[in-house]
Amino acid sequence: KYGVTLRTLRFYEDKGLLNPQRDGSTRLYTRRDKARLKLILLGRKVGFSLRDVKQMMDLYDPTGSNTKQLRLTLDKSEKQLARLRKQRALIDDAINELSNSMAAVRQMLSERSAAQASVAG
């Protein structure tokens, strides 16, 4: 359902991100565990480190006063968004440079093919 391997789940457990109940050797994942897994996967998708994800989740307050968690999440999200935008700009530049380079190579090939055709003909 979540597209993660058992090894990944165990890794998240080892890092303290998930703490399923156990019935013998069987792990029982509660709704809370599943919600935490969704947050972990979302955090990883947008580029947060597991340490960042854990830090944000550890501030969760079941009484409903999640002000610290919300502030930390917003702060980390703003910083990550800035990093992603910078990466996108670098990627856009690389794409443009590669496209220009490919166009130049195509032009050279075209010119050489035309020159060879005129010599042969």
Using one digit for the tens of pLDDT, what is the confidence trace for 4-23? 999 999 999 999 999 999 99
> For the chain, how many structural domains are there in total?
1
Residue type (1 letter), 86: K
Residue 91 lies inside a defined structural domain of this protein:
no
Residue 27 lies inside a defined structural domain of this protein:
yes
Predicted TM-score (pTM) of this structure: 0.72
Separation of alpha carbons 7 and 47, rounded Å: 20
Residue 110 lies inside a defined structural domain of this protein:
no
Summarised one tens digit per residue, pLDDT across range 40-56 is 999 999 999 999 999 98
Residue 13 belongs to domain spanning: 1-58
